[in-house]
Structure 1
């Protein structure tokens, strides 16, 4: 499974004036893209969520209902039972980020045939938000019950007996009123995201206490989401226990960078995703692992590398290692001319990785790389400085072009 991707369809939050209607932020959690899309579209009264969207996309879409500004953060895969805790905590971070400063309502989209595994999954996800999360949570079902389900009833009871059954006769106003009741019960307060952040920090500190080594932040990047996920899982190994594990004497945290060359995302959204990934690696990224195949590069591979170099600038060279994926057990250390060119372009470091490769050998090369860099990291501040520099360069180019066009206009007037 690939990493979670943010798609924000409305502008960043700004300070609300007294004349504006109040804001309500709703997080919609489920395990079916089509069902989540149906509920989100029903609430916003327009077809804004794609029922065929990838399951790893977390979307934020806003609208206005009656006298309310409503923002829906849709995470259609977070209640799937097979997710590791690492995937859950990262997806919860996305929901918290997109609902800043915090959601007013969390909606659990569940089926009536709930199992004990479903209940365990719900509790695991909600515990990652906050201890007070149930005060802001409700259950929503979209099917007529065939019989009473004890597990579902237990979940509803834990959510202060809040349950909405979406039927053909239901209206968005009915559902909105249920949300209003939850907001009123909480005196208008949203879920405290600072508390959720503290929860993440405590989990991280608890994990780091198992190792005396320093934390090592890795970002896995490339165009192939399946390869990125498989490498992440191999590095972290026991990801069901923690979002970071002790390996080769260090506590290691792995973040998967979404594919940057994506026609569905605007340039602003791509930059937001990239900044988020760097920010998740506080205080910064030690090593970027760029995955490429041990074969001719596809157009997607080439476009992805162009985008990485454009966004991160030449400063990424000393922090990047090319990870060459080999499918065959009969591996070779020979490099084709195209791959050699890529390695040289990104600083000269590479490592072969295949079915028989040990993670420990990769980590030895990473350790050597860290020694060469004297522990230096690619920090969020460094990334922001690059963005600022690019913005200033763009302003100068625009100013130069405007001056040139103005000069041409004056010349034409003089000739006439």
Structure 2
């Protein structure tokens, strides 16, 4: 990663750090959001722009990645979201991924690039594109262009309509194409918008839902949850179920509660630098801190990936996470085993002892009651960015202390070796 100027990965919700609208634009910094349907296609275009293998075509499709570089005299920051234009993406995933893009392009993107193919552009694709773009801002089209990576055999009317909405800005990437030509189109968009970036106020706000909860905590207190684990599909499934069921509840004995839900990507799939950026971003997005971490584990023998992910979570967040974590044991059916396996029981004990079974017909209300009980036990406490940084600082201090001890031992052994060597050189007459 030494060849990359900067890199960040986020999977989950994000809140843009607010900056003054009157701040003069940085004309040397160009932030580009790359939206597509294919990891390999997006990686190809991102690498073409930066002129190097900056994006990995084997990267997980649900990871939004930011990579920096230079093109001519411009510093570029490319935010790559390789699956957001897939038609199967849920509204929940769109909302979260758009917020990731906004967060990583802070204070906002200058250009949004749509990677579209002539042979893969249907009415359903058009509907998806419009939904995604309007999630950024109502003014998004004046910052957007279309890029295609193939010459059309025949005109695609739907693609042409999308291009027209983007003020007819279209770039066809061919073998003879130059990154400089594409940069000029970026510059034209920036110039047309007087050097200003897209304001994404709505997308930058926390994703909140109306949650009906017990009245045990004060009304209006926002609940910050982080869903973590090695299986991305399980995490998304749990997140959507929580949001859907809490949004639908209407028990008059309960009152409204704002909830912020963040999904943490599998840390074992990220580099050390990306792990640190991601975990810090995750916690910082839960202002003032994370109330509950929901760690997803299957009701089956744990895989090596499951175990490695838990080790990484414990390593990064330290044992201080234990009072804020609950193990969610996923079940394929409502059949609940009489006893937990020794392995699963060990995991639960290691992370503080709290667990909850989560199956297809599980009522989220029971989970929320357990979470409320956790909040009461913790007296409303949370895991903040300060807590995370303190944990990291403690590890660094322990590492420095260990280095000092090793150095002291090496010095001692070296001095002993020199004494023995000098003794061996003494001559007795």
Give 1:307-322 correspondences, 5 Å limit. Answer: 307-322=312-327
Distance 1:341 1:401 in 2: 33
Deviation at 1:30, TM superposition (A): 0.9
Give 1:240-255 correspondences, 5 Å limit. Answer: 245=247, 249=255, 250-255=257-262
Structure 1 residues 400 and 128: alpha-carbon distance in aligned structure 2, compared to 1, 3 A threshold: farther
3-state SS, counterpart of residue 187 of structure 1: coil
Tell me if the contact between 2:7 and 2:65 (Cα under 8 Å) persists in the aligned partners: no
Q: Could you report, residue by residue, the CA deviation over 1:286-327 in whole angstroms, capped at 9, with x for unpaired residues? A: 111112222322222222222111111122111111112222
Distance 1:169 1:345 in 2: 58
- Structure 2 runs not aligned, ≥5 long: 9-25, 214-218, 423-429
Choose which of 96, 102, 111 in structure 2 pairs with 1:105. Answer: 111
Q: Could you report, residue by residue, the CA deviation over 1:95-131 in whole angstroms, capped at 9, with x for unpaired residues? A: 2333334332211112336444333322322233334
Does residue 11 (structure 1) correspond to residue 11 (structure 2)? The answer is no
3-state SS, counterpart of residue 277 of structure 1: helix
Corresponding residue of 2:297: 292
Moved more, 30-39 or 327-336: 327-336
3-state SS, counterpart of residue 205 of structure 2: helix
Choose which of 160, 165, 171 in structure 2 pairs with 1:164. Answer: 171
Deviation at 1:28, TM superposition (A): 1.0
3-state SS, counterpart of residue 97 of structure 1: helix
Which protein has greater RCO, CA pairs closer than 8 Å, 6+ apart?
A: 2
Structure 1 residues 357 and 397: alpha-carbon distance in aligned structure 2, compared to 1, 3 A threshold: same
Corresponding residue of 1:196: 200
Does residue 44 (structure 1) correspond to residue 39 (structure 2)? The answer is no
Choose which of 351, 365, 378 in structure 2 pairs with 1:373. Answer: 378
Structure 1 residues 47 and 318: alpha-carbon distance in aligned structure 2, compared to 1, 3 A threshold: closer
Q: Name the Cα RMSD after superposition.
A: 3.0
Q: TM-score, normalised by structure 2?
A: 0.81
Corresponding residue of 2:70: 64
Corresponding residue of 2:133: 126
Moved more, 385-394 or 370-379: 385-394
Distance 1:203 1:318 in 2: 25
Does residue 303 (structure 1) correspond to residue 298 (structure 2)? The answer is no
Q: TM-score, normalised by structure 1?
A: 0.83
Deviation at 1:408, TM superposition (A): 4.4
Tell me if the contact between 2:299 and 2:330 (Cα under 8 Å) persists in the aligned partners: yes
Q: Could you report, residue by residue, the CA deviation over 1:357-409 in whole angstroms, capped at 9, with x for unpaired residues? A: 32222222222222222222222222222223322332333344344444544
Corresponding residue of 2:13: none
Q: Could you report, residue by residue, the CA deviation over 1:225-255 in whole angstroms, capped at 9, with x for unpaired residues? A: 22212211221127xxxxx846575333322
Structure 1 residues 397 and 381: alpha-carbon distance in aligned structure 2, compared to 1, 3 A threshold: same
Give 1:71-82 correspondences, 5 Å limit. Answer: 71-82=77-88
Distance 1:202 1:347 in 2: 29
Which structure's CA Rg is the greater one? 2
Does residue 30 (structure 1) correspond to residue 36 (structure 2)? The answer is yes
Runs of 4+ in 1 over 6 A off after TM superposition: none
Structure 1 residues 395 and 368: alpha-carbon distance in aligned structure 2, compared to 1, 3 A threshold: same
- Structure 1 runs not aligned, ≥5 long: 1-7, 14-19, 239-243
